[in-house]
A = this chain, B = another copy of it.
Amino acid sequence: MTPLAQLLEAALFASGMPIGLDALLALDLEATPDLVLAALAELRARYDDGEHGIEVVEAAGGWQILTRPEYTAAIERAQIASRPHRLSAAALETLALIAYRQPITRADIEEIRGVSAGSILKSLLERGLVDVVGKAEALGRPLLYGTTPTFLEHFALRHLGELPRADELAVALRPATAAPVPVSAP
């Protein structure tokens, strides 16, 4: 391929989103629209030789490299493209509460966090990180939540005793707020 086509390949790859002609022109000061379009055609032809799993696609006023549709199912099955979903801060706080105070009712979680916990609990249940472990003796016999073996596995814990105690966290995680400490000379 021509050097310009190689540059376009690298640029289209690096960007997840379609790139317009203007941005492509900014890649090479000597490039003209005709040259860029020719290089794009060259790149497209290269991927369309029947030997590639990706292709150049025109979309949203620009160009983009995408996987060929016939490979989508396999990639999704292997959970390669579905990047691991980071748990939200709210979900982590709820999970932390359940881990440290289980068994715990939804009301207690909401009391401590100060916000409703319904949708977060639902999501944690769906992910198998927490489960209903019983019913409280309190009025209405509210459900009690606890963590699951999946939770332990996820955080590489052999058992819950491996979680740091709450009073150890202050030292472990909080940056020393007072550092550096100005020391007055005697």
Interface residue? A112 (CB, 8 A): no
Q: Is the CB of B6 within 8 A of A53?
A: yes
Q: Is the CB of B75 within 8 A of A11?
A: yes
Interface residue? A60 (CB, 8 A): no
Q: Which listed residue, B24, B80, B179, touches A19 by the CB 8 Å rule?
A: B80
Interface of A is mostly: mixed
Q: Is the CB of B74 within 8 A of A174?
A: no
Q: Which listed residue, B9, B53, B125, touches A7 by the CB 8 Å rule?
A: B53
Q: Is the CB of A80 within 8 A of B14?
A: yes
Q: What are 15 sample pairs from A and B whose C-beta atoms fall under 8 A apart?
A: A7-B53, A10-B67, A11-B53, A11-B75, A11-B80, A16-B83, A23-B80, A27-B75, A116-B180, A118-B175, A132-B164, A134-B162, A140-B168, A141-B165, A143-B168
Query: Chain B contacts of A156 at CB under 8 A?
Result: 133
Query: Chain B contacts of A135 at CB under 8 A?
Result: 162, 164
Query: Chain B contacts of A106 at CB under 8 A?
Result: 171-172
Q: Is the CB of A116 within 8 A of B179?
A: yes
